[in-house]
Amino acid sequence: MYHSAIARFFAFSDLCGAGAMYQERIHSNPNWHNKYARRDTVFVETGGGQGAMQGMVIGRVHLFFSFALDKKSYQCALIEWFIPRDEPDKDTEMWVVRPEFQSNGRRTIAVIHLDCIDRAVHLLPVFGSAFVPDELLFSDSLDVYRAYFVNNNIDHHCHEFLSAL
């Protein structure tokens, strides 16, 4: 088991560096800074290439792990799914995702190969009309809201990535 992984990707909008390659660390730590759980969200390529977000969905990483089978090592992640709407929000021009649930009310989880992860993503809650409770911790925000904006303005790499979809 591991608490983080490095995502490397081609940053076509930033040609400086080693051949425009960029990297970022993705965390999944149950005890980050000895206080909070940190479970980062990522773009997961499903291979569909059509429909909403061109075959991309959002996953929240709960665990990085590896195992060996027949002398071959596999690097994987346990994730829970966030499914995009059919088109971006008209007011913000951001994609909106919702947690996917099974028929028993639990969130849908899956084991994926690390090669399916493209990069990290930042989600912003779609707030309702009520005030946010003072006791709500940032580490719990991905568990309490019904929908989230995919923040295409977190950095220029994400903006370019989403613009290409």
At 79-123, the pLDDT tens digits run 999 999 888 899 998 999 999 999 999 999 999 999 898 888 999
pTM: 0.82
The ranges assigned to domains in the chain are 4-127+138-163
Q: Annotate 53-64 with b (16+ C-beta within 10 A) or e (fewer).
A: beebbbbbbebb
- What integer pLDDT is reported at residue 8 of this predicted model? 64
